[in-house]
A and B are shown apart, each in its own frame.
Chain A
């Protein structure tokens, strides 16, 4: 118990220093609320912090150790705070509380030692933060000194065994009966706690506040929707200004604990590219720390942009693995896209090989530069109605996309899809020559203006025909239409073709008869899986095909490895490191399946190329789920 007025002043001083330290941090909660329009989400926060699910998931050992430290420090802190008030608890409960605290102290000790060993033995090149060591040592000192205090107290007051504090009792047996020792240990314990509090904003432990705030004020938008660029969006152009990231994004930078789960799951980092999402976030955070943000909240964008090299930012495949696996809801992907935007919109710099594709989009509205006049050619002879036709009877718009319209392989997939939808009695139409690229690649390559102009063109057409439901076959188009057109006022339902097919099979509107006698693994496309949470429909559909022996790749669902074609990487060259598609192809080969099923035109092309490059005797076939279903369908 605190004894003198000086102690209270010391506690107050420590808290003031801590708060002052936090006030100097770049992230400002008020701005997060006002500017980024992120209200506090207490419900989620409580379930997050009490359950620890996100922290434990994916890395159970470290997660449980974290859980132990959290409760082992949090609960005693609350108990000791209450102990300062003249509350009287029944002896039984007080004893039980003491026991719990004693055991928790032991647990914290174990977890702390585990963390310390983990930190000190981790490879320095991974960028693991060594600055955790000081607060960890301090924490251990606090726990140990606490036990000494307890032991000395027991030695002085009670003789013999005390079931309420087994650890303290053990200590008491080796300690001399000295009131001075107890007092000295108590002061030491107290000062160590004060030091810990003071150091909070200056060490790794600031994540206590920053990460908590980041969780509390999380971005509640859909993860598949990139936030519109910070800056002024006018009718025709985006004036990016010097705001690279908004306040919410800066809070994320502060919240990063550099655990490295993003890098562990990043396809670019796994393939030995320059990109490491942890390093990107940490470099940005360091950059932010180096020069405090002025009162107006404007950060010199070019300085931030310099913290990350062009090679790093262009290596990202947009697969969302870093976002999926971050325990404190940091989104490195969004930072990378923000940096690309800055590079493209402010400096006009983009990898040379992507420029022809962007020009094709600008002139022709598709990635291949074939021209919108040919956009309906794939459906030649199929008699698919266009929404522009009078008296068209369509409940749904079939969104074809550039790959469906022009890629020879994917055109076939589209034709198969038409067959399936027709068999299922779905009444659908297409836009034909009125469709444009959805803008996914342009947006993720940083060309926000081009995305906006394509999206507006499409929105005008949707509005013209009063489109209410869309089925898309490309996951990228699906995601963009479903989640990103919202900001432009879209209010239609969007389905992915596989969802649609799963529905038709469930309702027995499509019967699958012909067997596909193959062992088959599912490659989860990022923009269906991680981004939109569609994992099961792919498996449901494949299981409905007779004969298929479904197996899972070692990395599947949330942990599925990207094919390497997302975020415009389809049009970029692979420079250093391995090719990501070959990495995935090797995983598929090691799995020993005869075929792999995907549901994305980019995955199809990338995996085919990757598997082809392995030059196997009998390479696994790469099939689209639509093709698998069509081949099995009763005519």
Chain B
């Protein structure tokens, strides 16, 4: 079959009936890939699950041509890699796409590896960039050795490889077109639920307690916040925006927070989507640990503080005047009851 006519698939991650963010980033990659393969195939989003998922047609605005939906009660349990993989592999066998793109998460690492094994094809994880050479062969780039080196993989497997992109490299996609995607129902085929591991329960981590390296949102307090009881305002803000609490070195030296919550040269390096820096001057020893955050908000009384050089949004204000109002508004918006006093 001519590679140019093959479809580019992307795997849609959804939760509670809504499409999750990294999926949209995949559409841009898929369109780019289709163009370099000759432009013949369709950008196809694949949805596996049970129950309606909102916004599938609107995937078209992001560049998906059609959406294949397998709605089956056997797919009701999230994270059952063995069942999902058999569904995905069956679908791929029937349609024969050029490749399947995924955003790398714990879920897709499991699903991708299993599907690749079933399809007897390659699974490439941690991909940062994917290119097609003149012969239509895929080349993937990915970091090794702690990001210090990069390796280039040449994918000679004739079958559709499964590619998992690092979520950090997937650009946020803004809807562009007006064309809605065509949504097609697909059947799952004969897949038995026997055996395998079952998910008994999904436990949400308390965002405030989440490891700061894992957290999407980090609220970090510095010397300007103060110690002990003064620091409670940071906990309150973190609760209001589901952030994880962190501190700079003085906060850790005062033992207001434990060592594992320190950001900076002698602490942890974080890359959250949002970091709120409160009362932090922004010495290099601190910023070395957070400069890779996506969105940076800084609140400090000193307008010349170095932290503002890193900030997307800078507020010159006293933490203890600004944050209580902010927290009240946020809590009201979310319908939170006032926080229980004396956390920890």
- Chain A binder among B46-54, B70-78, B245-253: B245-253
B265 within 8 A of A: yes
Query: Shortest distance in angstroms between B258's beta carbon and chain A's nearest beta carbon?
Result: 11
Cβ-closest chain B residue relative to A367:
B265
A493 CB–B CB distance under 8 Å? no
- In the assembled complex, how far is the CB of residue B300 from the closest CB belonging to chain A, in whole angstroms? 12
Interchain nearest-CB distance for A608 vs B (Å): 7
Residues of A323-357 at the interface with B, using a CB-CB cut-off of 8 Å, are 352-354, 356-357
State the CA gap A356–B267 with chains docked (Å).
Answer: 8
In the complex the two chains form, what is the Cα distance from A356 to B213 in whole Å?
Answer: 15
Q: Is the CB of A357 within 8 A of B253?
A: no
Asked if B265 contacts A609 (CB within 8 A), the reply is no
A362 to chain B, nearest CB (A): 12
* Chain A 200-248 interface residues, beta-carbon cutoff 8 Å to B: none
* Residues of B with C-beta under 8 A to A364: 148
A453: interface (CB < 8 Å):
no
Contact digits for A436-456, partner B, Cβ 8 Å, 1 yes 0 no: 000000000000000000000
Name A370-425 residues within 8 Å CB distance of B: 371, 407-409
A69 CB to closest chain B CB, in angstroms? 46
Q: Is A575 at the interface (CB under 8 A from chain B)?
A: yes
In the complex, what residues of A have CB within 8 A of residue B148's CB? Answer: 363-364, 371
A613–B267 touching, CB < 8 Å:
no
A605/B285 in contact, CB under 8 A: yes
* Contact of A368 with B by CB under 8 A: yes
Asked whether A574 is an interface residue with its Cβ less than 8 Å from the other chain, the reply is: yes
Q: Does B281 lie within 8 Å of A612, measured CB to CB?
A: yes
Contacts of A368 in B (CB 8 A): 265, 288
Shortest Cβ distance from B306 into A: residue: A408
| A172 CB-CB contact with B under 8 Å | no
- Partner of B250 from A352, A353, A605, A613 at Cβ < 8 Å: A613
CB < 8 Å neighbour of B259 from A353, A608, A612: A353
* 1/0 contact string of B262-293 vs chain A (CB within 8 Å): 10011100000000000001011100100000
Whether B265 lies near A579 (C-beta < 8 A) is no
Residue of A nearest to B268 (CB): A356
Judge whether B146 is part of the interface by a CB distance below 8 angstroms: yes
Q: What is the minimal beta-carbon distance from B262 to any residue of chain A, in angstroms?
A: 8
Q: A409 contacts B253, CB within 8 Å?
A: no
What chain A residues lie within 8 Å of B265 (beta carbons)?
356-357, 368, 571
B285 touches A574 (CB 8 A): no
CA distance A353 to B265 in the complex (A): 9
A572 to chain B, nearest CB (A): 7
| CB neighbours of B252 from chain A (8 A) | 573
Chain B residues whose C-beta falls within 8 Å of the C-beta of A408 in the assembled complex: 284
Mark interface residues in A268-293 (1 if CB within 8 Å of B CB, else 0): 00000000000000000000000000
Q: Among B259, B266, B284, B288, which residue has its beta carbon within 8 angstroms of that of A409?
A: B284
Identify which of A356, A363, A575, A579 contacts B266 (C-beta below 8 A). A356
A542-575 interface (Cβ within 8 A of B): 571-575
Chain B: interface size category: 10 to 19
Q: How far is the CB of B113 from chain A (nearest CB, A)?
A: 29
B320 interface residue per 8 A CB criterion: no
State whether the Cβ of B139 lies closer than 8 Å to any Cβ in chain A: no
Complex Cα distance, B266 from A613, in Å, reads: 19
Q: Is the C-beta of B142 less than 8 angstroms from some C-beta in chain A?
A: no
B277 CB, min distance to chain A CBs, angstroms? 15
Per-residue A-contact encoding for B199-214, CB less than 8 Å = 1, 0 else: 0000000000000000
Q: A354-B266, A364-B148 are in contact. Are A573 and B253 (CB under 8 A)?
A: yes
Query: Once bound together, how far apart are the Cα atoms of A357 and B223, in whole Å?
Result: 23
* B266–A573 touching, CB < 8 Å: yes
A352 to B267, CA, bound (A): 9
Task: Decide yes or no: A579 and B253 within 8 Å by CB, A352-B259, A353-B267 being known contacts.
Answer: yes
CB distance from A315 to the nearest CB of B (A): 13
1/0 contact string of A587-612 vs chain B (CB within 8 Å): 00000000000000000010011001
- Residue in A closest to B266 when the chains form the complex, CB atoms: A353
Chain B residue with the shortest CB-CB distance to A407: B284
Which B residue sits closest to A608, measured CB to CB? B283
CA of A575 to CA of B254 in the docked complex: distance in angstroms? 8
Given the complex, which residues of A lie within 8 Å of B223, measured CB to CB? 612-613
Collect the chain B residues with CB atoms within 8 Å of residue A613's CB. Answer: 223, 250
CB <8 Å contact, A573 and B259: yes
CB-contact partner of B283 in A571, A572, A575, A605, under 8 A: A605
Q: Which residues of B contact A579 (CB under 8 A)?
A: 253
Contacts of B281 in A (CB 8 A): 612
A612 to B304, CA, bound (A): 13
> Could you tell me the distance between the alpha carbons of A353 and B253 in the complex, rounded to whole angstroms?
12
**Quick one: closest A residue to B287, CB to CB?**
A408
CA distance A408 to B281 in the complex (A): 14
A609 touches B283 (CB 8 A): yes
Docked-complex contact A357 and B283, CB < 8 angstroms: no
By the criterion CB–CB under 8 Å, are A573 and B283 in contact?
no
CB neighbours (8 Å) of B266 from chain A are 353-354, 356-357, 571-573
Write the nearest CB–CB distance from A16 to chain B, whole angstroms: 58
Closest B residue to A612 by CB, please name it.
B281
Inside 8 A of B288's CB, which chain A residues have their CB? 368
CA distance A530 to B120 in the complex (A): 69
Point out the residue from A354, A575, A605, A608 that lies within 8 Å of B253, measured CB to CB. A575
Assess the B283–A574 pair: CB atoms within 8 A: no
Q: Complex: how many Å from CA A230 to CA B329?
A: 65
Interface-centre pick from B262, B284, B285 (highest chain A CB count, 10 A): B284
A414, chain B: closest CB distance, angstroms: 14
Contact residues in A for B250 (Cβ distance below 8 Å): 613
Could you tell me which residues of chain B, from 223 to 251, have a CB within 8 Å of some CB in chain A? 223, 249-250
Contact of A363 with B283 in the complex, beta carbons under 8 Å: no
**A573-B262 Cα distance, complex, nearest whole Å:** 11
- Closest A residue, CB atoms, query B148: A371
In the complex, the answer to whether A574 meets B253 with C-beta atoms within 8 Å is yes
Instruction: Give A357 to B284 CA distance when docked, in angstroms.
Output: 15
Residues in chain B near residue A609, CB distance under 8 A: 283
- How long is the Cα–Cα vector from A371 to B133 in the complex, in angstroms? 31
Q: Shortest Cβ distance from A92 into chain B, in angstroms?
A: 72
CA distance A408 to B283 in the complex (A): 9
Return chain A residues, CB-CB under 8 Å to B267. Answer: 353
* Distance between B289 CB and nearest chain A CB, rounded to angstroms: 10
Contacts of A571 in B (CB 8 A): 265-266
Q: From A410, which residue of chain B is reached at the shortest CB distance?
A: B284
Give the residues in chain A near B284, CB-CB below 8 Å: 407-409, 605
Give every chain B residue within 8 A of A407 (Cβ-Cβ): 284
A356, A571, A572, A605 pick with most chain B CB within 10 angstroms? A356
Shortest C-beta distance, B245 to chain A (Å), equals 18
Task: Tell me the chain A residues, 578-635 only, with Cβ under 8 Å from chain B.
Answer: 579, 605, 608-609, 612-613
Give the chain A neighbours of B249 by CB distance below 8 A: 573
CA distance A613 to B148 in the complex (A): 36
Q: Are A363 and B259 in contact (CB under 8 A)?
A: no
Alpha-carbon distance between A596 and B177 when the two chains are bound, in angstroms: 61
Please, which residues of chain B bring their CB within 8 A of the CB of A572? 266
Report the bound CA distance from A356 to B215 in whole Å. 20
Q: Which residues of B contact A573 (CB under 8 A)?
A: 249, 252-253, 259, 266
User: Closest residue to B146 on the A side, CB-wise?
Assistant: A363
CA A356 to CA B250, docked complex, whole Å: 19
Tell me the bound Cα distance from A579 to B281 in angstroms: 18
Q: Give Cα distance in the complex from A575 to B283, angstroms.
A: 20
- Closest chain B residue to A368, Cβ basis: B288
User: What 4 pairs across the A-B complex have the smallest Cβ distances?
Assistant: A353-B266, A574-B253, A408-B284, A571-B266
A-B contact pairs, 21 of them (CB 8 A): A352-B259, A353-B259, A353-B262, A354-B266, A356-B266, A357-B265, A363-B146, A363-B148, A368-B265, A368-B288, A571-B265, A573-B249, A573-B252, A573-B266, A574-B253, A579-B253, A605-B283, A608-B283, A609-B283, A612-B223, A613-B250
Q: Give 16 new A-B contacts, CB below 8 A, not counting A357-B265, A573-B253, A613-B223.
A: A354-B266, A356-B266, A364-B148, A368-B265, A371-B148, A409-B284, A571-B266, A573-B249, A573-B259, A573-B266, A574-B253, A575-B253, A605-B283, A608-B283, A612-B223, A612-B281
